Amino acid sequence: MIEVKGIGKTFGKGAAAVPVLREIDLAIAEGEFFCLLGPSGCGKTTLLRVVAGLEKPDAGRVMVGGKDVTDAEPHKRGCALVFQNYALWPHLTVTENIAYGLEAQRRAKAEIGAVLGQSLQTYQLRGLEARYPHELSGGQQQRVALARAMAIAPHAVLMDEPLSNLDAALRKSMRRELMEFHRRAGNTILYVTHDQEEALALSDRIAVMMAGRILELGKPADLYARPRNLETALFLGDMNAMRGDAIPAALRGSSGPAETLCIRPENVRVRAGSADLDPATGFLAGTLAFKEFLGTHVTLGLETPAGRMLARAGIKEAEALPAGSPLALEFPPEHRLWY
């Protein structure tokens, strides 16, 4: 449904030139919810803008629905956009904002009326028809932006950090609404975010971007459990990392030439133990430095000879551990990641 082939983009000229996208290749299937995930400045928004036609690539081609749209104007690409600030017309009502794209396409009044009625119902906007954007909550504005985008029945919906302006509780609520929206409508979605939890929760697949390149691409569960490279492992979620000589010999096993051992905090097993526990037993001695209560569990911060490590514990289990407690950390072989 959406393909980008060899996309390159540089901002500036001469000595001031900054490569933003470097030979990007992607193929997003019809009906897929696809996330571009990465830190600020990695190029993810620029790539979305290239697909939308708001930026022209220096190299490569863009295909939407099997058609080459590299040189097509934005409104002729069959894509709808939902921006971070929603980009609603401030002087238009909810109804007028939703109908804007339909009227621009000169659809029949009867068709516009039918689409409006369905949109107001689907996006829970009944009773808000005559309100202006400044009279709406953030969540209501988000729903209007989605309704407007979907009214024109686009081939694909392009979303640039659409939930980042919402508070934490509303962001989670709207995330669930987006999941329901996608399940119901089945549109292809290209979604840009820096929020790892958001990407993991929403996506069919994720492309992790760094410095204008795609580091790794895959299903959320696969990327989280078994990232193929160290940069992805350290970026996606909390991760413990031990490097070089800091890795106890007993933990190396048959790792071969790998220089870094990684393991997720939830996979670290913690038990009460002596601070001078012999690492040759397969455990690493640690001292409890802090406890972070997170509602459903507690994150433990432990000082060890290999550096600070994080582990997870149940609430009751953590209550019994005072600061400074000597603990032993076990790293199950099946959860060790070597790079």
- DSSP calls for 277-332: --GGGSEEEEEEEEEEE-SS-EEEEEEETTEEEEEEE-HHHHHT--TT-EEEEE--
Residue 255 has pLDDT above 70, yes or no: no
Please report the pLDDT score of residue 253 as a whole number: 66
Instruction: Give the start-to-end residue ranges of the domains of the chain.
Output: 2-232, 238-338
Q: Which of 34, 7, 26, 5 is nearest to 158 (CA)?
A: 34
Predicted local distance difference test score (pLDDT) of residue 180: 85
pLDDT in tens, 199-227: 999 999 999 999 999 999 999 999 999 99
Nearby residues of 17 by Cβ (< 8 Å), 6 or more positions away: 10, 11
Cβ contacts of residue 238 below 8 Å, gap of 6+? Answer: 264, 265, 299, 310
What Rg do the C-alpha atoms of the chain give, in angstroms? 24
> Percent of the chain having pLDDT more than 90?
63
Q: What is the DSSP letter of 229?
A: S
> What CATH fold (topology level) applies to the domain 2-232?
Rossmann fold (3.40.50)
Mean pLDDT, the chain, whole residue set: 90
As a residue count, the chain comes to 339
Closest CA to 286 of 265, 299, 272: 272
Let me know if the fold of 2-232 is the same as that of 238-338.
no
Pair 210, 38: CB distance under 8 Å: yes
Over range 20-33, report the average pLDDT. Answer: 96
Reported confidence tier of residue 105, pLDDT bands at 50, 70, 90 = confident
pLDDT at 174: 81
Task: Give the architecture (CATH level 2) of 238-338.
Answer: Beta Barrel (2.40)
Instruction: Let me know: does 79 contact 107? Beta carbons within 8 Å.
Output: no
Task: Report the pLDDT value the prediction gives residue 177, as an integer from 0 to 100.
Answer: 81
What tokens does 134 get? 């400044």
User: Quick one: pLDDT at residue 43?
Assistant: 96
Looking at the predicted structure, is the pLDDT value of residue 333 above 90?
A: no
Q: Which residue, among 251, 195, 249, 213, has the nearest Cα to 24 in the 3D structure?
A: 213
pLDDT above 70 covers what percent of the chain? 96
pLDDT of 142: 84
Query: Is residue 275's pLDDT more than 70?
Result: no
pLDDT score at 71: 95
Q: 3-state DSSP call for residue 34?
A: strand
Residues 122-160: tens digit of each pLDDT: 888 999 999 999 999 888 898 898 889 888 888 899 999
